[in-house]
């Protein structure tokens, strides 16, 4: 075989280590008898596909509308922040500082619920900006807001329990609840709550900028919701979605700061204010459950990178975060107004267009008979990533499109309007 004796000896040593051959001095190596797996031939002849568990089936069910992804990703996708406005150099500086400063137990298995410096910074920031009442140890750091939803769902509800969500509402919350085996019922964000209190365990809301309609929950409604949750013994999961991007007036105080301790769990993320790829979110949990939820978080493995946590703490402390928010807020307002203006000019009363009051996306309403899934599919086949409104509804589907505008320009919006006109006329694919 034209190989050295050392190579042959090494091969035999490996085989012996695996228990496949027996080697004794003065005797030829002998192949060991290996017991065949029971039913090996039957398995080989008739391969069986192992099925998922009921829980696995629930978790793997896709409730979202999946746009087509190109090399860069789809254009005008809802919830997608501008990549061109991301402060790369300032963020890199904070990351470098974090790499030098983070040491000790934080690099091991300590502080799994959050780096103390970031917990302190966020508790102070959220108290000042959103009226959130929290001690640092109540601020749990996770990789995504979806992970925060999963943690709270698993910890506070059992399979078969009832969860309430807005109609139309965020598909991530619906996915978390259905994946956990909960029953899901809906309520309209601005309608009177049911007279007969259902025994809900969880109530999910986006009061600062309702997804996907973009409305705000007024103070009277917020207080009504807290009272309703107390009556049915539920905990409110407040997703403070897009609260950083309010174009008009001042934001209302977060629900968490209005209720008593334990009424509300407050969820936030930097996926929209920074970038989704940073993978950093947080949830302010009830003080009585800090220890229990810390163990649950570790069990789920929903922990975040410590260097990224330290970098965000530095980024906020240095004032870069507020400056960045001011810059992108102004940009998003101009972009949203541009999209609304162009759509009205092009389509008139064919579409229901309302200028956005905040956020990264707007919802336009189509004719009630329109197939918004087909229209969205045609648009996305042309490189866009809009979502049909109907998939966000459980009870009474409404036809519309949810359109992102974070990187909208005149040329891009005009191109989108051309594609939308063709898609409404049934052209595409």
- pLDDT tens for residues 370-383? 999 999 999 999 99
pLDDT at residue 286 is higher than 50: yes
How many residues would you count in the chain?
A: 429
Residue 204 covered by a domain: yes
- The answer to whether residues 238 and 266 touch, using CB atoms and an 8 Å cutoff, is yes
Residue 136 covered by a domain: yes
d(CA 411, CA 419): 12
Please, is 136 exposed, middle or buried when counting C-beta atoms within 10 Å of its C-beta (0-12, 13-18, 19+)?
middle
d(CA 341, CA 364): 12
Residue 209 covered by a domain: yes
Task: Indicate the pLDDT class of residue 90, thresholds 50, 70 and 90.
Answer: very high
Question: Tens of pLDDT along 34-70?
Answer: 776 665 555 555 566 788 988 899 998 888 877 655 4
Within 10 angstroms of residue 367's Cβ, the number of other Cβ atoms is 13
Together in a domain, 121 and 207 = yes
* Domain ranges, residue 403: 66-81+324-424
d(CA 266, CA 286): 9
In the predicted model, what is the mean pLDDT of the chain? 90
Tell me what pLDDT residue 388 has.
96
Together in a domain, 343 and 309 = no
Averaged pLDDT, 108-125? 96
Together in a domain, 116 and 137 = yes
Together in a domain, 305 and 341 = no
Tell me what pLDDT residue 45 has.
57
Nearest by Cα to 145 from 307, 19, 270, 34: 270
d(CA 396, CA 390): 8
Together in a domain, 220 and 185 = yes
Please, is 46 exposed, middle or buried when counting C-beta atoms within 10 Å of its C-beta (0-12, 13-18, 19+)?
exposed
- The answer to whether residues 366 and 401 touch, using CB atoms and an 8 Å cutoff, is yes
Residue 43 covered by a domain: no
Together in a domain, 140 and 210 = yes
Tell me what pLDDT residue 37 has.
63
Together in a domain, 353 and 233 = no
CATH (domain of 362): 3.90.1150.10
Together in a domain, 159 and 290 = yes
Q: Whole-model pTM above 0.95?
A: no
Together in a domain, 166 and 196 = yes
Total tally of structural domains belonging to the chain: 3
Question: Tens of pLDDT along 119-158?
Answer: 999 999 999 999 999 999 999 999 999 999 999 999 999 9
Question: Tens of pLDDT along 93-108?
Answer: 999 999 999 998 889 9
Together in a domain, 246 and 342 = no
Residue 148 covered by a domain: yes
Together in a domain, 306 and 340 = no
Averaged pLDDT, 298-322? 96
Nearest by Cα to 267 from 252, 280, 249, 277: 280
Structure tokens at 238: 């407040």
Q: Under 8 Å CB-to-CB from 392, ≥6 apart: which residues?
A: 168, 169, 170, 171, 211, 212, 402
- The answer to whether residues 249 and 178 touch, using CB atoms and an 8 Å cutoff, is no
| Domain stop point among 318, 342, 364 | 318
Question: Tens of pLDDT along 146-204?
Answer: 999 999 999 999 999 999 999 999 999 999 999 999 999 999 887 777 766 678 999 99
Averaged pLDDT, 67-82? 75
Residue 168 covered by a domain: yes
pLDDT at residue 429 is higher than 50: no
Residue 48 covered by a domain: no
Together in a domain, 368 and 295 = no
Q: Are strands 183-187 and 200-205 parallel, antiparallel or unpaired?
A: unpaired
Tell me what pLDDT residue 238 has.
97
Tell me what pLDDT residue 241 has.
84
Residue 55 covered by a domain: no
């Amino acid at each position: 075989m034209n190989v050295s004796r050392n190579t042959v000896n090494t091969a035999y040593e490996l085989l012996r280590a695996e228990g496949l051959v027996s080697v004794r001095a003065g005797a030829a190596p002998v192949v060991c008898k290996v017991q065949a797996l029971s039913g090996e031939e039957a398995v080989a002849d008739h391969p069986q596909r192992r099925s998922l568990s009921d829980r696995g089936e629930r978790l793997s069910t896709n409730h979202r509308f999946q746009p087509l992804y190109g090399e860069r990703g789809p254009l005008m996708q809802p919830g997608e922040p501008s990549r061109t406005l991301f402060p790369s150099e300032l963020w890199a500086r904070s990351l470098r500082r974090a790499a030098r400063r983070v040491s000790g137990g934080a690099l091991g298995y300590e502080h799994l619920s959050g780096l103390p410096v970031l917990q302190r910074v966020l508790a102070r920031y959220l108290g000042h900006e959103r009226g959130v009442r929290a001690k640092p140890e109540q601020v749990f750091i996770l990789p995504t807001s979806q992970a925060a939803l999963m943690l709270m769902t698993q910890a506070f509800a059992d399979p078969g329990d009832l969860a309430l969500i807005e109609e139309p509402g965020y598909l991530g919350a619906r996915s978390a609840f259905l994946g956990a085996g909960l029953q899901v019922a809906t309520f309209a964000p601005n309608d009177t709550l049911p007279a007969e209190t259902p025994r809900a365990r969880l109530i999910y809301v986006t009061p600062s900028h309702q997804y996907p309609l973009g409305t705000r929950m007024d103070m009277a409604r917020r207080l009504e919701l807290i009272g309703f949750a107390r009556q049915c013994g539920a905990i409110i999961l407040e997703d403070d979605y897009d609260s950083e991007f309010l174009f008009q007036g001042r934001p209302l105080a977060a629900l968490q700061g209005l209720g008593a301790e334990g009424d509300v769990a407050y969820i936030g993320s930097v996926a929209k204010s920074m970038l989704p790829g940073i993978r950093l979110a947080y949830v302010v949990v009830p003080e009585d459950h800090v220890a229990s939820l810390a163990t649950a978080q570790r069990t789920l493995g929903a922990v975040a990178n410590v260097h990224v946590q330290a970098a965000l703490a530095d980024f906020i402390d240095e004032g870069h975060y507020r400056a960045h928010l001011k810059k992108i807020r102004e940009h998003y307002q101009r972009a949203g107004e541009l999209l609304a203006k162009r759509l009205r000019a092009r389509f008139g009363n064919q579409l229901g267009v309302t200028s956005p009051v905040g956020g990264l996306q707007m919802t336009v309403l189509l004719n009630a008979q329109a197939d918004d899934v087909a229209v969205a599919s045609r648009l996305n086949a042309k490189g866009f990533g809009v979502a049909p409104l109907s998939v966000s509804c459980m009870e009474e589907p409404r036809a519309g499109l949810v359109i992102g505008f974070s990187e909208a320009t005149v040329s891009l919006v005009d191109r989108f309007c051309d594609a939308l006109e063709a898609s409404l006329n049934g052209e595409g694919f």
